[in-house]
Structure 1
Amino acid sequence: MTTAIDWSEHRAALFDLDGVITPTAEVHMRAWEVMFNDFLAGWDGPGDTSPYTDRDYFDHVDGKPRYDGVRDFLASRGIDLPEGSESDSPEAETVHGLGDRKNESFNEVLEREGVRPYPGSVALLDHLATLDIRLAVVSSSANAPAVLRTAGLLDRFETVVSGTVAKELGLPGKPAPDTFLHAAATLGADAASSVVLEDAVSGVRAGAAGAFAAVVGVDRGAGAAVLTEAGATVVVTDLAELVPGVPGVDA
């Protein structure tokens, strides 16, 4: 398969995590689905309470910081909840409460089932390890380090810009490009010498907004046309497609 990226032209590769390196996007999807549908079933205030669907995930939640996803989905349904605070319990009907309720569900699944990375993603990481290119993970999830550790890949990356790091530094989340730009700078690179690899529309938009050298859209369900419209310069279904001489790997 022809290599879509000439890695020798770049200094850094900035990977999203969930849905790009590990199939944890599916765990996030199900955790969001359970949480939102439980909430909607019990909500008796104004707004649209029809069941939450995968389309809602891709349109309003995917790739965003957790509380932003809650806000954007509720706004799409005309439902207004108080913001709350970090001290809220997961049972609270606030933006923070719903976000933390979803996170509890995700962590329970991660602990119970573990996670194995996509074989094609490992193939690309193995290839990049032979080159003079520096690697980072840029994820909206606060769980990114734990997921990488569970997958046995934490030591592959020089830096992990997680949702927690972004909050500590005051960086706006995707679709703003700031977390990717910070990761590139940490690696001694810049946007013009870095490649962004993303499966979420919000993450692809972040890469496009940052004017990165290339933005790889990994189509795990969002759709190639949607990713291209969001700003992807290359779209693949598996990262093995970006490894010279390696055929596609089933994920």
Structure 2
Amino acid sequence: MSVERSGTARVPRALRGTRAVVLDTDGVITDSARVHAAAWKTAFDGFLSPRGERPFDPRDEYLRHVDGKSRLDGAAAFLEARGLRPSEDEVRAVAAHKELLFTEQLRAGSVDAYPGTVRLLRALRSAGIPLAAASASCYAGELLEHAGVRGLFDALVDGGEAARLGLPGKPDPALFLEATRRLGVPAGHAAVVEDALAGVEAGRRGGFGLVVGVDRARTPATRTALLKHGADLVVEDLAELLTQKED
């Protein structure tokens, strides 16, 4: 492991100089992105099928239009991208259907934390680096609790907090900036870790010192898209940051 000392602990090379790390929840900390995508597919297909539209692609269209956004923003963005003009009530109905489906899966306990992410979180905590989780989902805290990692974070800004504070959704950086404010570290000295295109763009717009993209799809196209939207580096698993060698 190539690292730098921070007190008596060691910091991965890619995070040298970083004084705090903010991580998205779905797809970065927990494998809940797949559950979100499956719920969206069922909800969207129920809307698309009677209109003769092709089914929702839970991989490409989820990443491009829905991932990282609030339910209403994601539903509206996807349907508009398809050239549809749904009413506000229709958008809300699709979003509510998705919410019901996701909640059922969450209650079934089918979401875990990525082992590589947990390894990195423990290493950063040992190095004395403050950590925050930030998510557009109102269920972020519950997801972290179910996955057994809530105690690794010094702060959490979820969808409920974002609504209470009136924070705009990604790609606006407000959610991440609120997380760094709670950690007491300027964005320029903090890192953001995201798997969503809207999320890495938010990190870039927020002036974060480092934006790490996580490519769970593991394809050249998604890697390129993450870099194009603002990621400084892209990994397939966060454990890679613990094994990087010196140049």
TM-score normalised by length of structure 2: 0.89
Is 1:18 equivalent to 2:26 in the alignment? yes
From 76, 82, 88, the counterpart of 1:77: 82
Equivalence map 1:157-196=2 (5 Å):
157-196=153-192
2:139 maps to which of 140, 143, 161: 143
Quote the offset at 1:43 in angstroms.
Answer: 3.4
Distance in 2 (CA, whole Å) between partners of 1:22 and 1:102 is: 19
**Aligned match of 1:90:** none
Matches within 5 A, 1:38-117: 38-43=46-51, 49-53=53-57, 54-84=59-89, 94-117=90-113
**Deviation (angstroms), 1:82:** 2.1
Structure 2 match to 1:31: 39
Distance of 2:49 and 2:154 partners within structure 1 = 44
| Rounded Cα–Cα distance in structure 2 between residues aligned with 1:217 and 1:2 | 20
CA distance in 1, matches of 2:208, 2:115: 26
Whether the aligned pair in 2 keeps the contact of 1:114 and 1:150 (CA below 8 Å) is no
- 2:210 and 2:237 mapped to 1: Cα distance? 16
C-alpha RMSD of the superposition: 1.8
**Post-superposition, which runs of at least 4 consecutive aligned residues in structure 1 deviate over 3 A?**
1-8
Report the residue type matching 1:82 in the other structure.
S
Task: Note the residue ranges of structure 1 that are not aligned, 5 or more in a row.
Answer: 85-93, 247-251
Letter in 2 for 1:145: G
What TM-score comes out, normalization by structure 1 length? 0.88
Q: Is the 8 A contact 1:64 1:174 kept in 2?
A: yes
> What is residue 193 of structure 2 aligned with on the other side?
197
- C-alpha distance in structure 2 between counterparts of 1:189 and 1:120, whole Å: 25
Following the alignment from structure 2 to structure 1, what is the Cα–Cα distance between the partners of residues 33 and 17? 30
CA distance in 1, matches of 2:44, 2:54: 10
Correspondence for 2:7? none
1:19–1:199 Cα contact (<8 Å) kept: yes
Structure 1 pair 41–190 and aligned structure 2 pair: CA distance change class (3 A): same
- Give the letter aligned to residue 235 of structure 1: V
- Distance (Å, rounded) in 2 between the aligned partners of 1:159 and 1:166: 13
Q: 1:224 maps to what in 2? A: 223
Name the SS of the counterpart of 1:10 in structure 2: coil
Question: Is structure 2 residue 15 aligned with structure 1 residue 7?
Answer: yes
Structure 1 letter corresponding to 2:142 = A
Unaligned runs of 5+ in 2: 4-11
Q: State the match for 1:91 in structure 2.
A: none
Task: Tell me, yes or no, if the aligned pair for 2:109 and 2:146 is still in contact at 8 Å.
Answer: no
User: Which segment drifts farther, 236-245 or 70-79?
Assistant: 236-245
For the residues of structure 2 that align with 1:142 and 1:239, how far apart are their CA atoms?
24
Aligned residues: percent identity? 42
1:211 deviates by 1.2
CA contact 1:58–1:201 (8 Å) conserved in 2: yes
Aligned partner of residue 88 in structure 2, secondary structure: coil
* One-letter code aligned to 1:237: E
1:44-87 C-alpha deviation (Å, 9 max, x unpaired): 7xxxx121112211111111111000111111122222223xxx
| Displacement after TM superposition at 1:223 (Å) | 1.5
Aligned length: 233
With over 3 angstroms needed to count, the CA separation of the structure-2 counterparts of 1:164 and 1:103, relative to structure 1, is same
Task: Give me the whole-angstrom Cα distance separating, in 2, the residues matched to 1:173 and 1:212.
Answer: 17
